[in-house]
A and B are shown apart, each in its own frame.
Chain A
Amino acid sequence: MPKTEKEKKVKTVKTETAAAKPERKIVLMQGNEAVARGALDAGVNFFAGYPITPSTEVAEILALELPKRGGVFVQMEDEIASICAITGASLAGAKAVTATSGPGFSLMQEGIGFAKITETPCVVINVQRSGPSTGMPTSPAQGDIMQARWGSHGDSPAIVLYPDSVKESYELMIRAVNLAEKYRTCVILLLDEVIGHMREAVALPDIANVRVISRIKPTVPPQWYKHYDENQKYLSPLASYGEGYRFHVTGLTHDSHGFPTNKASEAADMMERLRKKISHNIRDLVQIESHKMEDATIAIFAAGISARAAKSAVAAARAEGIKVGLLRPLTIWPFPDDAVRKMLRNVETVIVPELNQGQLIHEIRRLTKEKSDGNLISMQRVNGRLITPNDILRKIKEVC
């Protein structure tokens, strides 16, 4: 029996929070607030950041909450210092996050690369705004999708999550921290400005039902410890500074102990390890919501707030008898290649609405090479306004 859409969504979205348990009371909250609450519930105990619209509420809430819980909040001198401070704190054992927006995210790119090459868990929350440069600080855009994947120089893996509601911001924040700890990397949570600032009624799960993952600490004596130990899934224990292990961490290409190397074989090993850590664990990393796709001849592929508009458009179009469905990635990087390829195989037309000049469309084009250009429709908007359900509905009617 095919699963209903509802069941599917539950399966994809609720992996971090056990379903059907008593929930905490329903509260009205902002996306940014949900992110801060998610961070606290995930065990985050260190935040370093720099004020920037539209992410500032995350810092403000954590400035209030972290000291109460014995955690550390520090406002740094800039975003560069912020990413560096959370990386240092994480190596000392903290669960560490920062929050920023476009200009700050650009400044953090080198530090993100450092966290990735040194396999240091941390989370960067990027509440996207219009760009380039200062752009429109309080207007939404989805222009950082490719930057979140490719922003730092050199090849590096990326785990990027993208919620479409306030509640999901909470859930994916927890998941971001969990994945950072598990995969020892810098995970990015991409939020849309409107989701960050929108208020919705949210029923948070009981804290006892929140699944929290923390890094595995080494059990071997210090002299046997390898900072980058090889194992089947490329997930290795992580010691903390100040606990007797006295390991070395460098942004230089390094061997499995963490010491710099110029040897071709060791350099290749390190790069392969970074790549395979992601590629061998795709099933664990990828989450995608499929909505009314079973009989769809038209599919919409969208993330974040654009997916939310698309969902309304799907309902309206379905009411008129148009067979249209929505595919929405919760994990945008690694890109859900297999799922997308499979789910788009039988549709005639794919519409990709996004608040940029065409970013997700490149991935869809790559995965649907058999479709003609006329059957792959990009909807773009970069004027600081949203793509509305009506815009998408009109496009659906044009193509059906």
Chain B
Amino acid sequence: MANIPQKIIHEYLRHDKKFPHVWCAGCSNGIVLGGIIRAIADLQLDRDDIMMVSGIGCSSRMPVYVDFNTLHTLHGRSIAYATGVKLYKPHMKVIVVTGDGDCTAIGGNHLFHAARRNIDLTVVLINNNIYGMTGGQCSPTTPHEAIATTAPYGNIEPDFNVCDLAMGAGASFVGRTTAFHAIEMQNMIKDGLNHNGFSLIEVISACPVIFGRLNKKGGPAEMMKAMRDNSIPLAAVEKLPPEKVEGKIVRGILRRVDKPEYCDQYKILTERAQQKGAK
């Protein structure tokens, strides 16, 4: 038989299960899946130690396809489930895959508190600015004036800056990239996985079938080009006048600081309690 070279992703996908996937043509979720898998392959992590947890939404369907320990939970609650797994098995690398609605609307509370605790979870938040799975309703990141099925006259609400939220809550690693910048994303996820503490990586993504169509953003290719043209790397921001940064997607690692990690803290607490108990 001819020696057919295997792609890295094939090693990490569940071949026997549930393909084709549920995502629409042109959706960015597959690119993010590829980024996560390549990051894991680069780091040569043992797949038995990888836990992927998700909530509800298009992006949250990801765990079913990957050959890791996988948990597809309730809407908004992925971080809370992940907290339980991580606390009981701190050696596991716990990745949370979530969306803008899942993580910042219904799951906002869990995001803040996991960030505050600085528990070592790697949250990959795929932000497509809309509720895709339920057919195009307004999310907390739907831009002001954009159209959604529940904002047919335009969205009157301001949108969240997801990274600012996470930083405000105390996250020790926060980065933003886009699905167009696949290598940058892969490296950022790697950095997030290597970071000992709560990390949030926001990946701006394209939903051409729903968000794109409702807001006349063109097809998948046009939306990918827009990610390229409307984003600037963090390093360039400082050199530009503020008016040129206005309205752009700023890409890069926005924060990376060392802070005590929650499971490490818990271990210290345990030792303290046991010493007290022994006395």
Q: Is the CB of A67 within 8 A of B77?
A: no
- By a CB distance below 8 angstroms, the chain B residues around A137 are none
Q: How far is the CB of B13 from chain A (nearest CB, A)?
A: 12
Q: Is the CB of B92 within 8 A of A241?
A: yes
Q: Restricting to B107-148, which residues have a CB under 8 Å from any CB of A?
A: 109-110, 112-113
- By a CB distance below 8 angstroms, the chain B residues around A251 are 72-74
Task: Tell me which of A89, A110, A243 contacts B84 (CB under 8 A).
Answer: A89
Inter-chain CA distance A84–B77, complex, in Å, is: 7
Q: For the complex, is A76 an interface residue (Cβ under 8 Å from B)?
A: yes
Task: Tell me which of B71, B91, B273 contacts A249 (CB under 8 A).
Answer: B71
Task: Tell me which of A64, A81, A88 contacts B109 (CB under 8 A).
Answer: A81
Q: How far is the CB of B150 from chain A (nearest CB, A)?
A: 22
Q: For the complex, is A374 an interface residue (Cβ under 8 Å from B)?
A: no
The proximity string for B residues 38-52 relative to A, scoring 1 for CB distances below 8 Å and 0 otherwise, is 000000000111010
Contacts A67-B269, A242-B91, A242-B92 hold; do A89 and B69 have CB atoms under 8 A apart?
no
Q: Is the CB of A85 within 8 A of B83?
A: yes
Q: How far is the CB of B73 from chain A (nearest CB, A)?
A: 6
Q: How far is the CB of B267 from chain A (nearest CB, A)?
A: 10
Q: Is the CB of B18 within 8 A of A84?
A: no
Task: Tell me which of A68, A110, A242 contacts B51 (CB under 8 A).
Answer: A242
Q: Is the CB of A246 within 8 A of B73?
A: no
Number of A residues whose C-beta is below 8 Å from B? 44
Task: Tell me which of B49, B81, B266 contacts A88 (CB under 8 A).
Answer: B81
- By a CB distance below 8 angstroms, the chain A residues around B77 are 80-81, 84, 111
The chain A residue sitting closest to B53, CB to CB, is A88
- By a CB distance below 8 angstroms, the chain B residues around A74 are 83, 87, 266
- By a CB distance below 8 angstroms, the chain A residues around B266 are 67, 72, 74
Q: Is the CB of B80 within 8 A of A85?
A: yes
- By a CB distance below 8 angstroms, the chain B residues around A94 are 84, 88
Inter-chain CA distance A81–B81, complex, in Å, is: 7
Contacts A84-B77, A242-B51 hold; do A92 and B89 have CB atoms under 8 A apart?
yes
Inter-chain CA distance A384–B70, complex, in Å, is: 46
Q: For the complex, is B3 an interface residue (Cβ under 8 Å from A)?
A: no
Contacts A78-B109, A81-B109, A111-B77 hold; do A260 and B64 have CB atoms under 8 A apart?
yes
Task: Tell me which of A68, A88, A96, A259 contacts B82 (CB under 8 A).
Answer: A88
Inter-chain CA distance A110–B73, complex, in Å, is: 11
Inter-chain CA distance A92–B63, complex, in Å, is: 16
Contacts A241-B51, A246-B47, A246-B67 hold; do A85 and B84 have CB atoms under 8 A apart?
yes
Q: For the complex, is A91 an interface residue (Cβ under 8 Å from B)?
A: yes
The chain B residue sitting closest to A249, CB to CB, is B71
Q: Is the CB of B89 within 8 A of A252?
A: no
Contacts A72-B266, A88-B80, A244-B48 hold; do A259 and B113 have CB atoms under 8 A apart?
no
Q: Is the CB of A67 within 8 A of B87?
A: no
Inter-chain CA distance A90–B277, complex, in Å, is: 26
Q: For the complex, is B68 an interface residue (Cβ under 8 Å from A)?
A: yes
Inter-chain CA distance A311–B82, complex, in Å, is: 47
Q: Restricting to B261-279, which residues have a CB under 8 Å from any CB of A?
A: 266, 269-270, 272-274, 276-277
Which of A84, A111, A243, A245 has the most chain B CB atoms closer than 10 A to its own CB? A84
Contacts A246-B48, A247-B69 hold; do A241 and B89 have CB atoms under 8 A apart?
yes
Tell me if A's interface is mostly helix, strand, loop or mixed.
mixed
Q: Is the CB of B277 within 8 A of A92?
A: no
Q: Is the CB of B47 within 8 A of A88?
A: no
Which of A86, A92, A251 has the most chain B CB atoms closer than 10 A to its own CB? A92
Q: Restricting to A237-293, which residues have a CB under 8 Å from any CB of B?
A: 241-252, 257, 259-260
Task: Tell me which of A77, A110, A250 contacts B110 (CB under 8 A).
Answer: A77
Inter-chain CA distance A6–B82, complex, in Å, is: 48
Contacts A68-B274, A81-B110 hold; do A89 and B73 have CB atoms under 8 A apart?
no
Q: Is the CB of A249 within 8 A of B70?
A: yes
Q: For the complex, is A70 an interface residue (Cβ under 8 Å from B)?
A: yes
The proximity string for B residues 223-253 relative to A, scoring 1 for CB distances below 8 Å and 0 otherwise, is 0000000000000000000000000000000
Q: Is the CB of A242 within 8 A of B49?
A: yes
Inter-chain CA distance A94–B86, complex, in Å, is: 11
- By a CB distance below 8 angstroms, the chain B residues around A242 are 48-49, 51, 69, 89, 91-92
Inter-chain CA distance A258–B241, complex, in Å, is: 53
Inter-chain CA distance A110–B110, complex, in Å, is: 16
Task: Tell me which of B71, B113, B269, B274 contacts A91 (CB under 8 A).
Answer: B71
The chain B residue sitting closest to A67, CB to CB, is B273
Q: For the complex, is B17 an interface residue (Cβ under 8 Å from A)?
A: yes
Task: Tell me which of A81, A88, A92 contacts B113 (CB under 8 A).
Answer: A81
Q: Restricting to B54-104, which residues have a CB under 8 Å from any CB of A?
A: 63-64, 67-74, 77, 80-85, 87-89, 91-92
Task: Tell me which of B17, B85, B89 contacts A259 (CB under 8 A).
Answer: B17
Q: For the complex, is A195 an interface residue (Cβ under 8 Å from B)?
A: no
Q: Restricting to A57-115, which residues have a CB under 8 Å from any CB of B?
A: 64, 67-68, 70, 72, 74, 76-78, 80-82, 84-94, 96, 110-111, 114
Q: For the complex, is A48 an interface residue (Cβ under 8 Å from B)?
A: yes
Q: For the complex, is A46 an interface residue (Cβ under 8 Å from B)?
A: yes
Q: Restricting to B139-185, which residues have a CB under 8 Å from any CB of A?
A: none
- By a CB distance below 8 angstroms, the chain B residues around A86 are 84
- By a CB distance below 8 angstroms, the chain B residues around A70 are 270, 274
Q: How far is the CB of A287 from chain B (nearest CB, A)?
A: 30
- By a CB distance below 8 angstroms, the chain A residues around B18 are 259-260
Inter-chain CA distance A92–B81, complex, in Å, is: 10
Inter-chain CA distance A248–B82, complex, in Å, is: 14
- By a CB distance below 8 angstroms, the chain B residues around A81 are 77, 80, 83, 109-110, 113
Q: Is the CB of A76 within 8 A of B69?
A: no
Q: How far is the CB of B217 from chain A (nearest CB, A)?
A: 30
24 residue pairs of the A-B complex, CB under 8 angstroms, read: A72-B88, A77-B109, A77-B110, A78-B109, A81-B80, A81-B83, A84-B83, A88-B73, A88-B80, A88-B81, A88-B84, A88-B85, A91-B71, A94-B88, A241-B69, A241-B85, A242-B91, A242-B92, A247-B69, A247-B70, A248-B64, A248-B72, A250-B64, A251-B74
Nearest first, the 3 closest Cβ-Cβ pairs linking A and B are A88-B84, A84-B80, A85-B84
